[in-house]
Structure 1
Amino acid sequence: MAETGADMSRFPSAAHLASWVGIAPGVYESAGKTRPAGTRHGNKWLCAMLVEAAGSVARGHGKNYLAAQHTRLAKRRGRGRSQVAVAHSFLVSAYHMLINDEPYRDLGAHWVSRRTQEAHTRRLAAQLERLGHMVVIDPAA
Structure 2
Amino acid sequence: VSINQEDIERLDSIPGIATRMAEQMLAELGTDIKNQFPSASQMCSWAGLVPGNNESAGKRKSSKTKNGNKYLKSALIEAAHSVRGSKNYLGALYRRTAARKGKKRAGIVVAHAILRIAYYLLTRKEMYVDLGEDYFDKQKQQSIVRHSLRRLESLGYTVSIIEPEAS
State the partner residue of 1:124: none
Equivalent positions of 1:71-90 (< 5 A) are 71-90=95-114
| Structure 1 position 64 matched with structure 2 position 88 | yes
Residue 33 of structure 1: CA displacement? Answer: 2.8
Which structure carries more strand by proportion? Answer: 1
The question of 1:20 aligning with 2:43 is answered no
TM-fit CA distance, 1:35: 4.7
Show the counterpart of 1:130: none
Q: Does residue 43 of structure 1 match 2:69?
A: yes
The verdict on how the C-alpha distance between 1:46 and 1:111 changes in structure 2, with shifts beyond 3 A counting, is same
Q: CA deviation at 1:71?
A: 0.4
Alignment counterpart, residue 128 of structure 2, candidates 94, 104, 129? 104
2:139 paired with 1:115: yes
Give the Å deviation of 1:118. 5.4
Q: In the TM superposition, what is the alpha-carbon distance from 1:117 to its structure 2 partner?
A: 1.9
**Deviations, residues 20-50 of structure 1 (Å, cap 9, x unaligned):** 0001111221102335521110100000000
Question: How many percent identity over aligned positions?
Answer: 43
Task: State the match for 1:3 in structure 2.
Answer: 28
Counterpart of 2:91 in structure 1: which amino acid? A
Deviations along 1:56-113, one digit per CA (max 9) or x if unpaired, are 111xx22100001100110110000000000000000000000100000110000111
More moved, 42-51 vs 29-38: 29-38
Cα drift, residue 140 of structure 1:
2.3
The equivalent of 2:118 in structure 1 is: 94
Number of equivalences: 123
TM-score by length of 1: 0.81
Q: What RMSD in Å do the two structures reach over aligned CA positions? A: 1.8
